[in-house]
Structure 1
Amino acid sequence: MNLFVFGLGFSARRFAESRRDRFDAVRATVTEPDKARALSAETGFTVRVFGPDGADPDIAAELADTDALLVSVPPDAEGDPVLRTYRAAIADSRIGWIGYLSTIGVYGDHGGAWIDEATAPAPLSVRSKLRLAVETAWLDLGRETGKAVQVFRLSGIYGPGRNPIVKLREGRSQRIVKAGQVFNRIHIDDIAATLAASIDRPRAGAVYNVTDDEPAPPQVVTEYAARIAGLPLPPEIDFETADLSPMARSFYGENKRVRNRLIREELGVTLTFPTYREGLAALKDQG
């Protein structure tokens, strides 16, 4: 089985590297030539350029030689660049499994209530509205071609090198408090396990929430990270006066508790890191 990954970023790379024994060949894209060369050397994958400045001409032929396709490229203002460029090549290929990495942001704000995959999307931000439109476009391709397209809505992603402990060590952490606010999270190893399980049990048109079991206030997670890593705890900052980018501030405008029952019951996934506690405990010595 050959895997092609559009967008070899944090989560997609972890999946491809951790499951490399499953694939005869792994091919992937990034947006810059220097990064493509570096990742080819680091991973042993064939990494090509696909981005605003153009696409490697070998990508189309490699798609024809692909069995599983993972798409981890964000939308642009015009929609999905992968579908815009390669829709026909994908439709005409032998690709049988397609995974699209999306976000739980498509659900919008639910005032802290529990939601699941049956909850109607109601995105608030422009980026989440674009995500929902691209989800629909990929699912439409699946219906039209008979290919098993699955959408994976990810919560806040963390893992080695990208987590609250690293932010504390680098002095980038803020302990922001907003009454009643909670977020779900997901460790990249649990994302990888979910994708692998889906390849084993494809279901055309499936939508999965890929998230942990325990939504929690962000300041509580920061406090736990500081305690187990023996690091100073930054002072509390009220959300209203916090120095946040517009994008970071927009995340606090969405408050929900997300259920993950479907990945467990349908795909048989058992989370290695069911809460932030297990995830951060495993990361405290490695960053």
Structure 2
Amino acid sequence: MKSLLIFGFGYSARALALHLLAQGWHVAATTRSAAKAEAMRALGIAPHIWPGADMRAALAAASHVLISAGPDAAGDPVLNALAGEFAAATHLKWLGYLSTTGVYGDAGGGWVDEDTVRVPAGSRGQLRVEAEDGWLALHRANGLAVHIFRLAGIYGPGRGPFAKLRAGTARRIIKPNQVFSRIHVDDIAQVLAASMAQPDPGRAYNVCDDEPAPPQDVIAAAARLLGMEPPAEESFESAQMGAMAKSFYGESKRVSNARIKAELGVNLRYPTYMAGLRAVLAAEGNSSPAAPHSDS
């Protein structure tokens, strides 16, 4: 039986787990929470409370591993704790590390691909670069079947603009030439599954849709789907925001997804944000948007 071990059972990891469970895989995952472990068990996922549990047996039983836990100031927590065990895990057919397109930093609205030099704009991006390099070093030194996935902005059911619009907290902050790429969580699962089916150790992949767009356009489209007036525009220069929110606007780039299509044969389920928003609205229990709109 194919067996996936997940370190860090987050939003994207959950989508992949459910996808593979439906195909008969055995799935195990780590969590820090006993309550979350019970919820995972109810889904058919074998939970491990970690840090704390001895992961050597679980790692030995796995054919595939997904690293979804992000780094902190001390670095990558999985590498820090288990680098030696992974160096010896040459039985693994595939290991995926979930990174971010933030490793590229700011491109001034231009295009980036997997060969673009990584120049992260802040400490969070730098920590991701260091984590990528740490996993790839294990690949080069020990033959570990590492694959890097640089995720764009993630959205999906329960994680999108609709709740903010309904609550009246959504904002349309306008910064000229500000563009982001994004990806529906179901397409993340699809890309990861495609890579598992045809491993290429050492390879990196951007995971994003076909339509980089200004964030205010996405908010406006979501508002129209709810039959609401979009929030008023605010200029970036005068908008009141915290440091974290401002840093979000410090990078502008269009991310190419050509590699996942050419090498993995991926046909995105939601290639545009409008297609993805409609799917999210339907999944959240409102499948009757106010009026049809173009996907352009």
- TM-score normalised over the length of structure 2: 0.92
1:213-268 C-alpha deviation (Å, 9 max, x unpaired): 11101111111111012134222122123233322211110011111000000000
2:135 maps to: 138
1:36 maps to: 37
Query: Matched residues in 2 for 1:33 and 1:249: separation?
Result: 35
Q: Contact 1:25 / 1:45 at 8 angstroms: preserved in 2? A: yes
- Please give the secondary structure, in 2, of the residue aligned with 1:102: strand
* Structure 2 runs not aligned, ≥5 long: 285-296
The percentage of aligned residue pairs carrying the same residue is 49
* Cα RMSD, aligned residues only: 1.3
Give the AA of the match of 2:17: A
The alpha carbon displacement at 1:39 in A equals: 2.5
The 5-angstrom pairing of residues 252-263 of structure 1 reads: 252-263=249-260
Give the AA of the match of 2:28: R
Give the AA of the match of 2:219: T
The alpha carbon displacement at 1:170 in A equals: 2.7
Give the AA of the match of 1:36: A
Query: Matched residues in 2 for 1:16 and 1:261: separation?
Result: 25
Query: Matched residues in 2 for 1:8 and 1:219: separation?
Result: 30
Question: Cα distance 1:175–1:182, how it changes in 2: closer, same or farther (>3 A)?
Answer: same
- Aligned mate of 1:165, from 155, 162, 186: 162
1:280 maps to: 277
Query: Matched residues in 2 for 1:9 and 1:244: separation?
Result: 27
1:118 maps to: 115
- Please give the secondary structure, in 1, of the residue aligned with 2:217: helix
1:67 maps to: 63
The alpha carbon displacement at 1:47 in A equals: 1.4
Give the AA of the match of 2:45: F
1:4 maps to: 5
Question: Cα distance 1:130–1:23, how it changes in 2: closer, same or farther (>3 A)?
Answer: farther
The alpha carbon displacement at 1:69 in A equals: 0.3
Question: Cα distance 1:37–1:110, how it changes in 2: closer, same or farther (>3 A)?
Answer: same
The 5-angstrom pairing of residues 78-97 of structure 1 reads: 78-93=74-89, 94-97=91-94
- Please give the secondary structure, in 2, of the residue aligned with 1:161: coil
2:288 maps to: none
Query: Matched residues in 2 for 1:97 and 1:285: separation?
Result: 34
Give the AA of the match of 2:64: A
The alpha carbon displacement at 1:194 in A equals: 0.3
Q: Contact 1:30 / 1:47 at 8 angstroms: preserved in 2? A: yes
- Please give the secondary structure, in 1, of the residue aligned with 2:282: coil
Q: Contact 1:5 / 1:71 at 8 angstroms: preserved in 2? A: yes
Q: Contact 1:165 / 1:226 at 8 angstroms: preserved in 2? A: yes
Give the AA of the match of 1:47: P
Query: Matched residues in 1 for 2:204 and 2:24: separation?
Result: 24
Query: Matched residues in 1 for 2:65 and 2:202: separation?
Result: 15
- Please give the secondary structure, in 1, of the residue aligned with 2:80: helix
Query: Matched residues in 2 for 1:244 and 1:31: separation?
Result: 31
Question: How many pairs does the alignment contain?
Answer: 282
Query: Matched residues in 2 for 1:184 and 1:21: separation?
Result: 29
- Please give the secondary structure, in 2, of the residue aligned with 1:112: coil
- TM-score normalised over the length of structure 1: 0.94
The 5-angstrom pairing of residues 95-114 of structure 1 reads: 95-114=92-111
Query: Matched residues in 2 for 1:96 and 1:173: separation?
Result: 43
1:243 maps to: 240
1:25 maps to: 26
Larger CA deviation: 146-155 vs 19-28 = 19-28
* Structure 1 runs not aligned, ≥5 long: none
Question: Cα distance 1:22–1:138, how it changes in 2: closer, same or farther (>3 A)?
Answer: farther
Q: Contact 2:154 / 2:184 at 8 angstroms: preserved in 1? A: yes
Query: Matched residues in 2 for 1:170 and 1:197: separation?
Result: 37
2:49 maps to: 49
Q: Contact 1:14 / 1:188 at 8 angstroms: preserved in 2? A: yes
